[in-house]
Amino acid sequence: MEIEPLTATIGAEISGVDLASPLSDDEIAQIRRALLDWKVIFFRDQHELDRERHIAFGRSFGDLEVHPLTPSTQKEPEIFVLPSQGTHRAPDVWHSDVTWRPEPSLGSILRIVESPPLGGDTLWADMGAAYDMLDDSTRKEIDGLVGLHDFVRVFGAHLPPDEQAKMRERHPTVEHPVVRTHPETGRRTIYVNRAFTCGIKGLDDSESRPLLAELERTATIPDVQCRFRWRPGSVAFWDNRATQHCVSNDFLPHRRVMERVTVVGDRPY
């Protein structure tokens, strides 16, 4: 197994491993260590990785969640399908996956199923490095603040109020620290995102909106980012506790289909 970093702090390609084959405990430990070190890791030429083996690889790192939008008729409920084509855009707002859950994910493992002829890169941001770039006064201001994360903000945005209320009964707004501590590395990271964070507890909109905008902008700084160009057989595995990501929709109107499994995490602190 060889690891080739993409930048000084985030992103690395791993070669010499076949994710479709059973992996040893030592191989799993090396991959987990690389994930902690580089926040997002990439594997090329994994052409034999089908849905069953994708799920098996994900389970090597913990239990897998089922997304509430996954059709009940889908044979593999752990697989979350992300299709984009025509005017239907891929998720191009910076975010960390499922922060609307009381216990958001440890990480996500994404494989490309249908590649567009060009474009469709994904970008990741190191939110620990982003935290380090804040000035001292901002760090003091946000220390101890609690962000509000809302499922409906994305998945129910275009629904009528009564339907939104029903969705919030199933998935109530949750609270997470604005700055979380990574449970394995101890790293302090910014833990608010444009997709799901709807406010800050105890602050009105006039106070919370500019502060959230300032923190959310840090993910867009090129110095904290890496960029990955997909091709058939590519797989990405990222740490949702340490990163945010977004997609470039420069492939539309062509078709791009991705499949994701998401490893269950714990409550942020």
Active-site residue numbers? 95, 97, 245, 260
Cβ(32)–Cβ(5) below 8 Å: no
- How far is Cα 168 from Cα 55, in angstroms, rounded to an integer? 29
C-alpha to C-alpha distances, 264 to 77, 124, 148, 193, 233, nearest whole angstrom: 14, 20, 20, 19, 24
- How far is Cα 221 from Cα 97, in angstroms, rounded to an integer? 20
- How far is Cα 174 from Cα 71, in angstroms, rounded to an integer? 24
Task: List Cβ neighbours of 79 (8 Å cut-off, separation of 6 or more).
Answer: 51, 54, 55, 70, 259, 260, 261
Tokens standing for residue 3: 């690891």
- How far is Cα 220 from Cα 201, in angstroms, rounded to an integer? 24
Cβ(257)–Cβ(116) below 8 Å: no
Q: DSSP string spanning 171-207?
A: S--EEEESEEEPTTT--EEE---TTTEEEETT--HHH
Residue 62 region, left (φ>0) first, then alpha (ψ -120 to 50), else beta? left
CA angle (164 as vertex; 159, 169 as ends), nearest 5: 155
